[in-house]
Amino acid sequence: MSDKYSFATVDGKIVEKNISTSIYTYFSFFTFDMKEKTKEIEKFLSKSKKKEDYDLFEKYRQYVGGFYLFQKGELVQSSYANSIKETSKLAQSEDIFFNFKPGFLKNYFQSVQKGISDKAASSVYDVFKTPELKKLQTATLYVPNYIGIKFNPNLYKLEDKERSEEDKADLFSKYEFKYEYIDDNALSEKILNNEDIYYFRYVRMNNGKFLNIVEAKTGKIIYSESIFGMSYNLKPDYIKDIKTAIKKF
C-alpha cells in the first residue's frame, strides 16, 4: 500500500431511504489518503480478534474519476434477494452490465484520462450539446442493441425484456436522421478498430437516465442529457430531443 499507486475497480453501494432502495454501480479510479489509510491498517493489525469481513479497501479514498455501470435486471434482483457480499461477487465475476464491453470501456477510459490530463472535472450529470452534432445530419448514429431492452421495475419480477422490432423502431420514430441498431459486440469492435463513427450511449441508474452521443475514436461526448422521473425506460420524446439538438446546428 503506497501513495505511488492508483486503483481502478468495479464498485457499488445500496442506499435505503424510507421505503425505497437505490442500487448504484460504477467503475472507480482513486488513490488513498495514505496518512489515514496507514492509521487504519495499523489499528486493524493491532486487534487480537480481527473481523474476517472487514474491508480495508473501502475507506479514505481520494477519487480521481469514474462512470456509472448500467446493471442488468439480474443484478438488481440479486441486491434485493441476496447479501451484499453475494451481489458483489456477481458484479465482479459475471457479464452483468450493459455498458461493459471492451470498446465501451475504451471510450470511458479515454474520457477519464482526458479529464486527468486537462485537470478538468466533469460529471455524468452534466448537460450540454456541441456543434459536432451537426455531422449527424448526414452520418449514421449507431444504436447498440441493449438500447432495445426494457426494464420491468415490478418488485416481484425485476427483469429485462427485449422490445419488439416495432417498439424499437417506434423509439426512433421521431429521429428523422440515419440510425442503425447494431450488436453490442460488433459496435465494441468498431470502437476498438478506431472507426470514425458516432453512437448512442444510455445508462439508467435507478430513476436517473443518462443519454450520450459519443465520437468513437476519441471517446468525446458531443451530447449529454440527464433525465429524472418515475419512468425506468427510454421514450421516443427523449430521442426527439436529440433530433432537435442536431437540427439547431
Q: What is the pLDDT of residue 20?
A: 77
Residue corresponding to grid cell 451537426: 134
Cα–Cα distance, 136 to 196 (Å, whole number): 12
Q: What is the pLDDT of residue 156?
A: 63
- Mean pLDDT, the chain, as a whole number? 92
For the entire predicted model, the pTM comes to 0.91
C-alpha cell at 37: 489509510
What is the mean pLDDT of the segment spanning 163-173? 95
pLDDT, tens only, 112-126: 999 999 998 889 899
What is the mean pLDDT of the segment spanning 89-107? 93
Which of 55-59, 125-129, 190-194 bottoms out in mean pLDDT, i.e. has the lowest?
55-59
Cα–Cα distance, 23 to 206 (Å, whole number): 7
pLDDT band at residue 87 using 50, 70 and 90 as cut-offs: confident
Q: Which residues contact 51 (CB under 8 A, 6 or more apart)?
A: none
pLDDT band at residue 128 using 50, 70 and 90 as cut-offs: very high
pLDDT band at residue 155 using 50, 70 and 90 as cut-offs: low
Torsion angles phi and psi, residue 12, rounded to 5: 180, 165
